[in-house]
Amino acid sequence: MRKHPILLLPWLLLFLALAWLGWDHGRARTGESLPEASPGVPPAAPVAVRPEADAAARDVVCGMEIRKSLSYRVSLPGQDYFFCSEDCRAEFKNQPEKWMSAGSRRQGAHAMRGLPIRIYQWGVVLVMVISFGTFEWVSWKRRPAAFAPAPSQGHPRRIDLTAWRPLRRSLQWPYLRPIAQAIAAGLFLVVVAAGLFGNQSPAMNIAPLLTWTIWWVGLVFLVLFLGKAWCFVCPWDAIATWMERLRFCSPRRSGLGLQMKWPRSLRNIWPAVGLFVLLTWVELGAGITLIPRATAYLGLMMLGLAIACVFLFERKAFCRYACLVGRVSGLYSLFSSLELRARDANTCASCRTSPCFRGNDRGDGCPTFELPRTMTLNTYCILCTECLKTCPHDNLSIRLRPWGEDLAHEGKPRTDEAFLSIILLAMTGLHGLTMTPRWPEWNEALSATWGVSPRVSFSLLMALILAAPMLLFAALAGVSSLWSAPHGMRTLFIHYAYALLPIALFYHLAHNAGHFLLEGPKAAALASDPFGWGWNLFSTARSHFGPLVSLEGLWIIQVGLVVTGHLYSLWITEKTTRRLIPDRRAAVFSQLPMLAAMVAFSVFSLWLLKQPMEMRLSAM
């Protein structure tokens, strides 16, 4: 670790973020004060826990559906009003007549203020200074030889975690993964049952919160540090595999599947890309994040696809080609600080049986058709650890590495992956846009102008947002190609698209940090009453769990994440330029349009964070 301190960077940033959260949370708690009530309005009644209070109510200020037992209350003669937060209660107490007569905003939405103008401006300044300062230093001040391809230096900086024998033995234990999958499958079945049979108020059902706020947010964070660890416990794959094999633990000996070959024309990730775009449309266009039963149906649909594929096709073709969660996390995992690789190439070269690919009595062959002994990218490895069990030489290892290693070195650029990189950037932006007050205005205006339904107008706007960054990036790649002969626009488009992944990843984290830190603590209350039936399993159902961070603290975290993603994108762009264009002068001019793209996308991310956002479940 002393030799390669860069390996500590991800964990140092994590520690600083946790320290910031702890300091900010303590500061926010000690600084809390309730505003005085307006003249003529009685002070807020204490929130007493009464059996009849555990029911749904509506915040008249922000429109959020909330639990009475977890709300802030104002009692007026003949009427109690319930609020999601002290801010809403204070706003009501300042002008009670307005809110008692004015109705409320969209159901299920809670307005959260965006970045203040000063923080937004400082964020933009940081992006510009980093962009042009880095570009100036790298492109003009360094010697021309710096643009020559770097010589091969063998294995880059790595720490072999599985060199620690207890960890290696644990990962090789045949029952470790099935037990972990059984726990995940149990939680999945609870979510499905709650969605299908529980209270259909999103404020009183654990399915939407656990799926869209805890799991979906946690998945991206998990990829950042632990790569494809979700695939290790994936309940869809687990249930499908158990059904097909009729047994709990690998290796495969017999099964019910037909073992057909996956169609050659579909041996790409376009099926997963299509499912991802469809999921985004369903999630945002149909609003399933606030419909517990629809959330359960979606989970069952994913399970059905996994079961159908495991019975029809060989190995885990669904995981390799069609799973939208696996492909999104697979592309993000190119940035991850964890990898599974062969230790020594000479040992692998002397192996004639390739059990890591074919399998043996100790475990399965690689389920996603990878050859672990020559694997150099994280994209399609699902960290199932079967190759650690089957290798007779113990030559496979799980290693710690710096962020972005797969993106910084020569890989295997693919058209489908390049398009998914830009789609990820567009779809994360779409998530932010649909939560702003401007979105319903645009949607309604387009619907009225063209005389189409709101669903159709939503689809048109989504298609526009999907196409705009692709067209912009293609145009800039075309400009770059003027100085990058013999590389044309298509080559630059595919190679440079990977450099957008850190911007998409870190904006994804910045956007979801608001959901997780503000809404996530509510899971502690819902865990005691997951179905909304009035249970209190862990004595937390009627407890109030406030946000983990203040808005001011959240803003600093969000700006820090966007700037970090931008910095890594610049670094990867510079590495890509070195590989493609050795000539220094041509590299400088070819890189300028890509620099403009990075700045545009990062500033747009900051602008989105500046907008007031309508949160989904924060007022429960």
- Name 83's bridge partners: 72
Query: Residue 336: what residue type?
Result: S
| CB burial string 288-324: b at 16+ within 10 A, e below | bbbbbbbbbebbeebbebbbebbbebebbbbbbbbbb
In a 13 Å sphere around the CA of 352, the CA atoms on its Cβ side amount to 0
49, 51, 56, 61 alpha-carbon torsion, rounded to 10°:
-30
Report the largest interatomic distance among the alpha carbons of the chain, rounded to a whole angstrom: 87
- Rounded to whole angstroms, the Cα distance separating 457 from 442 reads 9
- Distance (Å, whole) CA 335 – CA 401: 10
pLDDT value for 172: 93
How far is the C-alpha of 490 from the C-alpha of 113, rounded, in Å? 41
Closest by Cα among 243, 379, 261 to 320 = 379
**Phi, then psi, of 187 in degrees rounded to 5:** -65, -40
Total length of the chain: 620
Print burial letters for 26-63: b (CB count within 10 Å at least 16), e (below 16): eebeeeeeeeebeeebeebeebeeeeebbebbbbbbbb
Per-residue pLDDT at 151? 41
CA distances from 445 to 41, 416, 458, 520 (A): 39, 34, 11, 34
Residue 85 lies in domain: 35-111
Q: Does 221 share its domain with 325? A: yes
The reply to whether 196 and 288 lie within a common domain is yes
Give residue 198's pLDDT. Answer: 94
Answer yes or no: do 129 and 199 share one domain: no
Angle CA(285)–CA(289)–CA(294) in degrees, nearest 5?
90
DSSP annotation of 115 reads -
458 with 309, same domain: the answer is no
Boundary (domain end) residue, out of 311, 334, 357: 334
**Mean pLDDT of successive 10-residue segments in the chain (620 residues)?**
66 86 63 40 42 60 64 77 74 79 49 81 92 62 43 63 94 93 96 95 89 89 92 95 82 78 93 93 85 94 95 93 93 94 89 89 90 91 93 92 88 91 93 88 91 91 94 94 86 94 94 85 89 90 76 87 93 88 83 91 94 63
Q: Are residues 431 and 473 in the same domain?
A: yes
Rounded distance between C-alpha atoms, residue 163 and residue 398, angstroms = 9
CA end-to-end span of the chain: 44
For residue 4, being part of any structural domain is answered with: no
Token pair for 32: 């809390």
Residue 83 lies in a domain: yes
Q: Residue 480 phi/psi, 5° resolution?
A: -60, -35
Chain mean position to CA 514? 13
Alpha helices, H only, 48-202:
86-94, 96-101, 117-136, 165-172, 176-197
- Per-residue pLDDT at 26: 66
Q: Identify the bridge partners of residue 112 per DSSP, sorted by sequence position.
A: 613
In a domain, 47, yes or no: yes
- pLDDT recorded at residue 194: 96
Residues 497, 589, single domain; the answer is: yes
Token readout for 133 is 């300062």
pTM of the full predicted structure? 0.85
Alpha-carbon distances of 180 from 162, 229, 235, 307, 384, rounded to whole Å: 19, 11, 9, 19, 11
pLDDT reported for residue 187: 95
> Are 504 and 607 in the same domain?
yes
Indicate the residue among 305, 334, 363 that finishes a domain. Answer: 334
At 615 the pLDDT is 65
**Predicted local confidence at residue 225, as pLDDT:** 92
Positive or negative: CA dihedral 322, 327, 330, 334: positive
Specify whether 478 is located in the same domain as 538: yes
CA torsion 561→563→568→574, rounded to 10°?
A: 170
Tell me, yes or no, whether 7 lies in a domain. Answer: no
Judge if 223 and 191 occupy the same domain.
yes
Name the nearest CA neighbour of 373 among 359, 399, 355: 355
Q: Are residues 102 and 64 in the same domain?
A: yes
Same domain, 429 and 315: no
How is 244-255 classified by DSSP, letter by letter?
A: HHTSSSPSPS--
CA angle 464, 468, 473 (to 5 degrees): 160
CB 605 within 8 A of CB 568: no
Q: Would you give the DSSP letter of residue 615? A: E
Tell whether 21 is covered by a domain.
Answer: no
Alpha helices in 379-500 (DSSP H): 386-390, 405-408, 415-434, 438-450, 454-480, 489-497
Question: What are the DSSP calls for 327-391, one per residue?
Answer: HHHHHHGGG-SEEEEES-HHHHHT-SS-HHHHEETTEEPPTTS--GGG---STT-----HHHHH-
**CA 279, 281, 283, 286 torsion-angle sign:** negative
How many angstroms separate the CA atoms of 254 and 244, rounded? 9
Q: φ, ψ for residue 168 (rounded to 5)?
A: -65, -45
| Structure tokens given for 52 | 């009849």
Confidence at residue 36, expressed as pLDDT on a 0 to 100 scale: 43
Answer yes or no: is 404 within a domain. Answer: no
Among the listed residues 569, 560, 554, the one whose alpha carbon sits nearest the alpha carbon of residue 600: 569
User: If we measure between CA atoms, which residue out of 520, 430, 504, 518 comes closest to residue 211?
Assistant: 520
Total tally of structural domains belonging to the chain: 3
Is 300 among the domain residues?
yes
| 289 is a domain residue | yes
Same domain, residue pair 483 and 568: yes
